[in-house]
Amino acid sequence: MKKNKFLLIGDKFPKMKVQTTHGQVSLPGDYKGKWLVLFSHPADFTPVCTTEFIAFAKRKDQFEAINTELLGLSIDQVFSHIKWDEWIEEKMNVEIPFPIIADADGAVAGRLGMIHPGKGSQTVRAVFLIDPKGFTRLILYYPQEIGRNMDEIIRCVKALQISDEKGVATPANWPNNEILGDRLIVPPAKTRQDAKARLKDKTIECYDWWFCHKENEENKEKKEKK
């Protein structure tokens, strides 16, 4: 098993072939053109992980609507994943629609820095958000004791997508910020000339030249249609 080596935000996701419950997958190539949420769980047949898989499965349509695929991983053999899938469907009446990497020897988890210190071969609850070009855009790590919030992961994908498309940033708790609501933050000016011009720009609003924001046009169009 390889030692932990943390992947960093902005890194190209390493090329690798993995065995999953849906067959062999090439990363990140098989997901080219799509966003990918790669997430690890400590082990099959564990309570918190079961609730997480059900939560991901129930949001399948929401992820698909934002061009995003899901891919699980744990240091278990593929037959364990398959049996756990069957158990969830039989006992919880929820079908797991996404593949799960069978990282039985821990090679993938070790390569990506997913191994939980002091917990043997179990992984942390890691989340890697990979963009359509194969770059790592967001990384989340949770301890084994805390289940993840899937709605936050969806929010992160949407925020990165609008940031890429519009060249903006999103405020805290977007799209429900306490001050700006769903408005978007305009990157600060980089020259004195731009700073002065920023305050005269009628398409944006500013508290000061370094703190400007504008309307989310996508939501504006939706409101107008209503």
- Look up the domain containing 215 and give its range: 167-225
Q: Residues 122, 181: one domain?
A: no
Residue 4 within a domain: no
Coil/strand/helix, residue 212: strand
Number of domains in the chain: 2
| Number of Cβ atoms within 10 Å of the Cβ of 196 | 11
Q: Residues 142, 175: one domain?
A: no
Percent of the chain whose predicted confidence (pLDDT) is above 70: 93
The pTM score is 0.91
Catalytic center residues: 49
Residue 159 within a domain: no
| pLDDT reported for residue 1 | 43
Give the end of a domain, one of 148, 182, 206: 148
More reliable by pLDDT, 51 or 124: 51
Give me the mean pLDDT over the 102-127 stretch. Answer: 86
Domain of residue 91, CATH code: 3.40.30.10
Q: Residues 20, 59: one domain?
A: yes
Q: Residues 144, 181: one domain?
A: no
- The CA angle 4-141-143, to the nearest 5 degrees, is 95
Rounded CA-CA distance 153/205 in Å is 29
Which residue in 132, 190, 127, 182 sits closest to 161, CA to CA?
132
Query: Which strands sit side by side in the sheet containing 35-40, from one edge to the other?
Result: 23-27, 16-20, 100-102, 68-74, 35-40, 125-130, 136-142
Give the end of a domain, one of 119, 148, 177: 148
Tokens describing residue 140: 């989340």
Distance of CA 174 to the CA centre of its chain: 16
Residue 59 within a domain: yes
Percent of the chain whose predicted confidence (pLDDT) is above 90: 83
